[in-house]
Amino acid sequence: MTSELKQATLRQSHWLRVYYEDTDTAGIVYYANYLRFLERGRTEFLRTLGFQQQQLMLENISFAVTSISANYRQPAKLDDHLEVTTGIEDLRRAQLVFDQSIWRGDQLLLDAKICVACVDPSKGKPIAMRRDIHEQFMRWSTEPASANPGTKQ
């Protein structure tokens, strides 16, 4: 895959380095660690929108992963510098689908769809997103890239 796919939708980028702890004995990233990389990307995405997960939790708002679909394309290796891109595919009142990818330069290593539900962590039940959070997600998914720092189109 080329960078055209990466450029197709408005996305936020988070960069990370592959450490020894992320790999198996052959220096290849263990498959489950890609989920950790994607989680970091979503956390930084929320930060870009002005929301800190710790503060949201104090306000009884959390996002719980309800489903994941991931396509592993190529392996990441020890010391690779990776880009995790995050965009919004679908937005509803209590649910959000992220479109995420992991890249090494122009090489697509993994693409994934992650569905998350907005939940009240004290009750473990789904709730509608607070209006300001929902509006920020809406703004992100409809504004041009120049209006959003740290983005790609």
Has residue 151 been placed in a domain?
Answer: no
Q: What is the pTM of this model?
A: 0.85
Average pLDDT over residues 126-141: 91
| Average pLDDT value over all residues in the chain | 88
Distance of alpha carbon 153 from its chain centroid, rounded? 15
State yes or no: pLDDT of 19 exceeds 90.
yes
Tell me what pLDDT residue 7 has: 40
The total of structural domains in the chain comes to 1
Q: Please write the tens of the pLDDT for every residue from 97-116.
A: 999 999 999 999 999 999 99
Please give the structure tokens belonging to residue 117.
Answer: 């539900």
Q: Please write the tens of the pLDDT for every residue from 43-66.
A: 999 999 999 999 999 999 999 999
What is the C-alpha separation between 88 and 115, in angstroms, rounded?
Answer: 10
> Which residue among the candidates 22, 24, 99, 106 is catalytic per the annotation?
24
Tell me what pLDDT residue 146 has: 45
Has residue 111 been placed in a domain?
Answer: yes
Query: 34: domain CATH number?
Result: 3.10.129.10
Task: Establish whether 120 is a catalytic residue.
Answer: no
User: Where in the sequence is the domain holding 112, given as residue range(s)?
Assistant: 3-141
Has residue 39 been placed in a domain?
Answer: yes
Distances (CA, A) of 13 to 46, 102, 124, 130, 146: 12, 10, 30, 25, 14
Has residue 153 been placed in a domain?
Answer: no
State yes or no: pLDDT of 143 exceeds 80.
no
